[in-house]
Amino acid sequence: MSRLVVASNRVADLSVAKQSGGLAVAVGEALRQRGGVWFGWSGDVVEDGEPDVPTTTSLDNVTTVTVPLSRSEFENYYHGFANRTLWPVCHYRLDLAEFSNEFLESYRHTNARFAAEIEKLLLPDDILWIHDFHLIPLGSELRKRGVTQRIGFFLHIPFPPIEILTATPEHEWLIDSIFAYDLVGFQTQTDLNNFKRYLLQLGNTTFLPLDRLICGDRELTAGVFPVGIDADHFAEVAHSPQSDRIVESMKVRDPGLALIIGVDRLDYSKGLPERVRAFERLLELHPEWRNAASLMQVAQPTREDVDAYVDIREELERLTGAINGRYGNFDWTPVRYINRSVERDRLAAIFRASRIGLVTPVRDGMNLVAKEYVVAQDPDDPGVLVLSKFAGAAETLTEALIVNPFDTDEVAEALHAALIMHQSERKHRNYALRTKINNFDVFKWQKDFLTALEHSRTSYLIPERT
């Protein structure tokens, strides 16, 4: 087995990976099995001109190497091209996208700098796995430096349709840089189709069977690898004695209250205002749920330096205040809004105690919360997942109640249907969903991707290995 070199925006602390969730565990497992290096940003920002030396730590056969960003890289590469340009474009939000040459130049430059650091770490037989939109051109920067090892790229967020992508200046350069990889992985068939439709329209790609694509002298394999969760572990956490206690105390505090749970980063892609409006609509259309159901929305702030995130936070606070003012009373708060991160064992217990998992992004690569909610349920008396059709997860989790998050009435009616759903139907749906989530967990995702990468045809193989 080849040694593995992973590059992603942030690097997990492998000594506490269980707490940080499934992705870190699965990538960590692959690194431990093969030995290897995990490279990424340290999270630190140094003033321009200050030294940006890498920090290296090793645990058994795995080394993590992290570098700080300079102030201008942080503003133009990270908060610029990554968060203000690519994130909105890939979430179909051209209205929020900002285009600037300074952002683009910094994005190129930072990826080139990372490539120079990674090249120093490579051994001839390594395989490389690069993650997500921050690092799209990292592969081509490595190739420019003569790196011939197999390199795979996985996009965690949606790949937008051509009509949106082509509004981005330099989109040809961006997509062309994907052809430096030997394998590109997407979350869903829709994303892969969008990628292929873009290439088809550009007209310089030959399409071979099994999603092998030829462009110039480069061959690339494209595939769908839906990311999963560490399902066994999360179910275990949800049913630990500690969780039992949390669930019990929640029941004692609010006997008979039907809890609807939403858990997200506070991001405009997650459909939070639409969700609160749909809950309000439920109270209008079905007044029997007044005093009887509450929406608990846990929204962890992120990217607070970006205006669009300040706006979404203010909108959510305004909406929550308005609905609580209109319907709330001394005994009942319609919307409980918790503006912070919650520890994973508490989160798992809250999922288990909730009658509905309400996951209604307006666009999402996959959405792991949907999967976590399902496996946290008690199989004999489970809650119901209400899931947006615009989450990647909806492509496979078809036994959820699938909704259009923009259709307030439809979501409100789905909430009502979920709240009155008979136990036998809830069990049936939960069983079907749980089976899929268990069969396609994060370990399978990791193994499938790396197996496909090792078997991908590559035009970069050094002559003596071909």
Pair 287, 393: CB distance under 8 Å: no
Pair 344, 21: CB distance under 8 Å: yes
Residue 449: how many other CB atoms lie within 10 Å: 21
Cβ within 8 Å of residue 146, ≥6 positions away: none
CB nearer ligand ADQ, residue 234 or residue 460: 234
Distance CA 51, CA 168 (A): 33
> Quick check: is 217 catalytic?
no
Q: What is the DSSP letter of 334?
A: S
Helix axis angle, 22-34 relative to 231-238, nearest 10°?
A: 130
CB of 18 to ligand ADQ, least distance (A): 12
SS3 214: strand
> Quick check: is 156 catalytic?
yes
The binding site for ligand ADQ (CB under 6 A) comprises 21, 156-157, 227, 263-265, 298, 300, 341-342, 347, 364-369, 372
**Which of 156, 182, 230, 264 is an active site residue?**
156
Pair 14, 59: CB distance under 8 Å: yes
**Which of 132, 230, 267, 364 is an active site residue?**
364
CB of 238 to ligand ADQ, least distance (A): 12
Select from 338, 337, 339, 342 the least CA-distant residue to 237: 342
Distance CA 240, CA 253 (A): 20
With vertex at residue 294, the alpha carbon angle to CA 289 and CA 296, rounded to the nearest 5 degrees, is 155
CB of 287 to ligand ADQ, least distance (A): 30
CB of 453 to ligand ADQ, least distance (A): 17
CB nearer ligand ADQ, residue 115 or residue 263: 263
CB of 98 to ligand ADQ, least distance (A): 19
The DSSP annotation for 165-188 comes to HTTSTTHHHHHHHHTTSSEEEESS
CB of 361 to ligand ADQ, least distance (A): 8
Q: Beta strand pairing status for 55-59 and 62-70?
A: antiparallel
Distance CA 309, CA 319 (A): 15
Q: Where does 286-389 have alpha helices with state H?
A: 307-327, 344-353, 368-376
**Strand ranges, E, within 71-191:** 127-131, 150-154, 183-186
CB nearer ligand ADQ, residue 21 or residue 383: 21
CB of 3 to ligand ADQ, least distance (A): 24
CB nearer ligand ADQ, residue 264 or residue 280: 264
CB nearer ligand ADQ, residue 29 or residue 52: 29
Q: Identify the bridge partners of residue 56 per DSSP, sorted by sequence position.
A: 65
Cβ within 8 Å of residue 98, ≥6 positions away: 80, 84, 85
CB nearer ligand ADQ, residue 199 or residue 247: 247
CB nearer ligand ADQ, residue 215 or residue 342: 342
Known catalytic residues are 156, 364
